[in-house]
Structure 1
Amino acid sequence: MLPNWLTEEYLQPRLRTYCKDDQLKVLKIWAKPATGKGENFVGVMTRIYVDYQLGDGSVQKKTFIVKQALPEDVPQAEVFFEYELYTREMDMYEFVLPKLKELLQEAGLDGKLTADAIAVDREYSTMILEDLAPYKFVNADRVKQLDLAHTKLTLEMLAKFHAASIILQQRHPELLTKCFFTHFFSRDKKAYSEVFTGLFRAFLRFINGQPNLKQTYGDKLEKLRTHIMEYGARVYDVGEGDLRTLNHGDCWTTNIMFQYDDAGDPQTVVAIDFQFSNCTSPTIDLHYFFTTSLKEEVRDKEPELVEHHYNALKANLEKFSYKGLFPTLEEYQLQFERRRFMSLMAHMFKPCMIYNGTEETSDFSSLYKDTTEGLRYQKSVYDSEAVIRSATKLLAILDGKGLLDLQ
Structure 2
Amino acid sequence: MTSNENKNKNTNALVTYDQFKSFLHANFDNFDELLSFSASRALADGENYITTIIRISADIKLKDASREQVKFMLKIPLQLKESKEKKQTDDDGYHELFVTEANMYDNIVPELEQMYASVGVSLQFKPNKYRFAHEMSCNYILMEDLQARGFEMAPRREGLDDAHTKAVLDKLAQWHAASVKRIEIKGAYPEGYIKSYFSEQSLPFIVKMNAAFNEPFAQCMDAYDLIPTEKELILTFMRNMNELYVKFGSVDTQAFNVLNHGDFWINNVMFQHDGEDRTTVKEVLFIDFQLPKYGTFAMDLFCFLMTSPNWSIKLKNFESFVEYYHLKLIENFQMLRYEKPVPTLDDLRAQLEKHGLWAFVCAQRILAVALLDSQENSNIETFMSDNEEGRAFKKRMFYNPLYVSQMKEILPWLIEKNYLHYLTQVS
Superposed pair shares fold, TM > 0.5: yes
Query: Which residue is equivalent to 1:127?
Result: 141
Per-residue CA deviation, residues 346-401 of structure 1 (Å, 9 max, x unaligned), is: 11221221113x75423323234343333332222222343223223232233335
Provide the alpha-carbon RMSD of the alignment: 3.0
Query: Which residue is equivalent to 2:190?
Result: 177
* Residue 224 of structure 1 pairs with residue 232 of structure 2: no
* Residue 84 of structure 1 pairs with residue 101 of structure 2: no
Which one of the candidate residues 40, 47, 54 is aligned to 1:39? 47
User: Aligned partners of 2:177, 2:421: CA distance in 1, in Å?
Assistant: 35
Q: Shift in Å at residue 45 of structure 1?
A: 1.0
Which one of the candidate residues 177, 195, 198 is aligned to 1:163? 177
Which one of the candidate residues 356, 369, 394 is aligned to 1:352? 369
Q: Which amino acid is the alignment partner of residue 314 of structure 1?
A: I
User: Aligned partners of 2:91, 2:170: CA distance in 1, in Å?
Assistant: 32
Query: Which residue is equivalent to 1:337?
Result: 353
Closer/same/farther in 2, CA of residues 325 and 233 from structure 1, 3 Å limit:
farther
Q: Shift in Å at residue 80 of structure 1?
A: 8.1
Which one of the candidate residues 305, 311, 320 is aligned to 1:304? 320
* Residue 10 of structure 1 pairs with residue 19 of structure 2: yes
User: Aligned partners of 2:253, 2:21: CA distance in 1, in Å?
Assistant: 49
Query: Which residue is equivalent to 2:108?
Result: 96
Stretch of structure 1 that moved more, 340-349 or 146-155? 340-349
Which one of the candidate residues 187, 190, 194 is aligned to 2:200? 187
* Residue 70 of structure 1 pairs with residue 67 of structure 2: no
Give the alignment of 1:363-374 within 5 angstroms.
363-374=379-390
Query: Which residue is equivalent to 1:234?
Result: 247
Q: Shift in Å at residue 197 of structure 1?
A: 2.3
User: Aligned partners of 1:309, 1:80: CA distance in 2, in Å?
Assistant: 37
CA contact (8 A) 1:69 1:126 kept: yes
Give the alignment of 1:246-257 within 5 angstroms.
246-257=259-270
Q: Shift in Å at residue 122 of structure 1?
A: 8.2
* Residue 273 of structure 1 pairs with residue 288 of structure 2: yes
Which one of the candidate residues 61, 64, 68 is aligned to 1:60? 68
Q: Shift in Å at residue 168 of structure 1?
A: 2.2
Question: What secondary structure does 1:44 align onto?
Answer: strand
Closer/same/farther in 2, CA of residues 116 and 205 from structure 1, 3 Å limit:
same
Stretch of structure 1 that moved more, 5-14 or 36-45? 5-14
Closer/same/farther in 2, CA of residues 82 and 39 from structure 1, 3 Å limit:
closer
User: Aligned partners of 1:102, 1:284: CA distance in 2, in Å?
Assistant: 24
User: Aligned partners of 1:377, 1:229: CA distance in 2, in Å?
Assistant: 22
Closer/same/farther in 2, CA of residues 319 and 401 from structure 1, 3 Å limit:
closer
User: Aligned partners of 1:42, 1:362: CA distance in 2, in Å?
Assistant: 10
CA contact (8 A) 2:159 2:308 kept: yes
Question: What secondary structure does 1:298 align onto?
Answer: helix
CA contact (8 A) 1:45 1:66 kept: yes
How many percent identity over aligned positions? Answer: 23
Residue segments in structure 1 that go unaligned for 5+ positions in a row: none
Stretch of structure 1 that moved more, 284-293 or 23-32? 23-32
Per-residue CA deviation, residues 36-58 of structure 1 (Å, 9 max, x unaligned), is: 12321111210011233445554
User: Aligned partners of 2:351, 2:409: CA distance in 1, in Å?
Assistant: 22
Q: Tell me the TM-score normalized by structure 1.
A: 0.87
Q: Which amino acid is the alignment partner of residue 116 of structure 2?
A: L
User: Aligned partners of 2:127, 2:64: CA distance in 1, in Å?
Assistant: 26
Q: Tell me the TM-score normalized by structure 2.
A: 0.84
Closer/same/farther in 2, CA of residues 128 and 139 from structure 1, 3 Å limit:
same
CA contact (8 A) 1:284 1:336 kept: no
Closer/same/farther in 2, CA of residues 122 and 201 from structure 1, 3 Å limit:
farther
Give the aligned length: 402
CA contact (8 A) 2:298 2:358 kept: no
Which one of the candidate residues 259, 271, 282 is aligned to 2:272? 259
Q: Which amino acid is the alignment partner of residue 19 of structure 2?
A: Y
Query: Which residue is equivalent to 1:141?
Result: 155
Q: Shift in Å at residue 310 of structure 1?
A: 1.4
CA contact (8 A) 1:30 1:48 kept: yes
User: Aligned partners of 2:11, 2:183: CA distance in 1, in Å?
Assistant: 38
Closer/same/farther in 2, CA of residues 98 and 17 from structure 1, 3 Å limit:
farther
Which one of the candidate residues 294, 302, 316 is aligned to 1:287? 302
Closer/same/farther in 2, CA of residues 204 and 214 from structure 1, 3 Å limit:
farther
Stretch of structure 1 that moved more, 53-62 or 156-165? 53-62
User: Aligned partners of 1:137, 1:153: CA distance in 2, in Å?
Assistant: 14
User: Aligned partners of 2:139, 2:320: CA distance in 1, in Å?
Assistant: 41
Query: Which residue is equivalent to 1:205?
Result: 219
Q: Shift in Å at residue 88 of structure 1?
A: 0.9
CA contact (8 A) 1:48 1:63 kept: yes
CA contact (8 A) 1:258 1:269 kept: yes
Per-residue CA deviation, residues 70-93 of structure 1 (Å, 9 max, x unaligned), is: 359679x99984793221111111
User: Aligned partners of 1:187, 1:194: CA distance in 2, in Å?
Assistant: 14
CA contact (8 A) 1:15 1:118 kept: no
User: Aligned partners of 1:134, 1:82: CA distance in 2, in Å?
Assistant: 29
Q: Which amino acid is the alignment partner of residue 277 of structure 2?
A: A
Question: What secondary structure does 2:54 align onto?
Answer: strand
